[in-house]
Amino acid sequence: MTVTRREALASLVVAPLLGSLPAVRPSGRPAARLKQSASRWCYRSIPLPDLCKAGKAMGLAGIDLLASDDWPIVREQGLVCSMGYAAQRDDFIPRGFNDPANHDLLVGELERALPLAAQHGVPNLIAMFGNRQGRSDEQATQACITGLRRIAPGAEKAGVTICVELLNSKVDHKDYQGDRTAFGANIIEAVGSPRVKLLYDIYHMQIMEGDVIRTIRQHASHIGHFHTGGVPGRHELDDTQELNYHAIARAIADTGFTGFVAHEFVPTRDPLTSLKQGVEVCSV
């Protein structure tokens, strides 16, 4: 086939443009760059099977923060539990890895949960740094490194990631020690396992330190999971709050992140309508 000069020039112009276009689903919509899920506790008024069906219809890939009894339910609905609990206790948040006295309990819970998580396709289990109770950051850092190194080999063997959550100590969780990204990242770096990461909660870290997009880019290698929530108030991802979640989602995707972004906001309106709007905002 003979190609004219005009056709050749046209191809040079069009080819780069085509290469820059996003991949397209069979439906004609752009392929999602981020896997999204929804935190169960924010939608507990909705039966779990119904939440799964509605979530799947709006593009969710998982349901977040479920105990092991619920993991098979989401699998039956074609989703996964994107973040599981190894145990549920009233002191789950304040009793963390920053206290060596907790290590046997925490490691034991995780060791029992890891094989089950692997069996049910649960990619992550949640853990906590714990409340200060007078401990220095240096003491807490060494304790967390020691404790997390104990569970890291088991997590690597199971192919499941332990995600230690960053929370704010200013509004919601007084005295929580893991309230700054740098504190958590130093621990994750020292543990040195691909299966021990941070759960970066955007809502909490906006309250504590702001500078969300730059921080995400700087610590991409330390982060295994994200939570969303409008600031202030932890409500919808709309114009009632101060963060540009579409830009944040794009920044996360641009790091090459392959994990989950889980919506952990409390709806003030119809919950499924608010969730769908949040999914759309974070679709990039």
Given a cut of 70, is residue 27 above it in pLDDT? Answer: no
Mean pLDDT value of segment 253-279: 98
pLDDT range class, residue 30, cuts 50, 70, 90: low
* pLDDT of 9 strictly over 90: no
Residue 275 lies in a domain: yes
Task: Give the length of the chain.
Answer: 284
What string of H, E and C letters represents the secondary structure of the chain? CCCCHHHHHHHHHHHHHHHHCCCECCCCCECCCCEEEEEHHHHCCCCHHHHHHHHHHCCCCEEEEECHHHHHHHHHCCCEEEEECCCCCCCCCCCCCCCHHHHHHHHHHHHHHHHHHHHCCCCEEEEECCECCCCCHHHHHHHHHHHHHHHHHHHHHHCCEEEEECCCCCCCCCCECCCCHHHHHHHHHHHCCCCEEEEEEHHHHHHHCCCHHHHHHHCHHHEEEEEECCCCCCCCCCCCCCCCHHHHHHHHHHCCCCCEEEECCCCCCCHHHHHHHHHHHCCC
Dihedral angle sign, alpha carbons of residues 264, 92, 49, 123 = positive
Residue 120 lies in a domain: yes
Look at residue 23 in the predicted model and tell me its pLDDT. Answer: 46
For residue 21, tell me if it sits in a domain: no
The answer to whether residue 17 is domain-embedded is no
Query: For the domain that residue 78 is a member of, what is the CATH number?
Result: 3.20.20.150
For 194-219, the pLDDT digits (tens) are 999 999 999 999 999 999 999 999 99
Question: Across the chain, what does the average pLDDT equal?
Answer: 92
Q: Please state, for a pLDDT cut of 70, what percent of the chain lies above it.
A: 89
Domain of 152 in residue numbering reads as 33-281
Residue appearing with tokens 């409390």: 266
Q: 76 lies in a domain?
A: yes
Q: Please state the pTM of the whole predicted model.
A: 0.89
Q: How many domains does the chain have?
A: 1
Task: Assess if residue 137 is contained within a domain.
Answer: yes
**Residue listed under structure tokens 């063997």:** 157
Count Cα atoms within 13 angstroms, Cβ side, for 35. 17
Q: Mean pLDDT, to the nearest integer, of 249-258?
A: 98
Domain for residue 236, yes or no? yes
pLDDT in tens, 124-180: 999 999 999 999 999 999 999 999 999 999 999 999 999 999 999 999 999 999 999
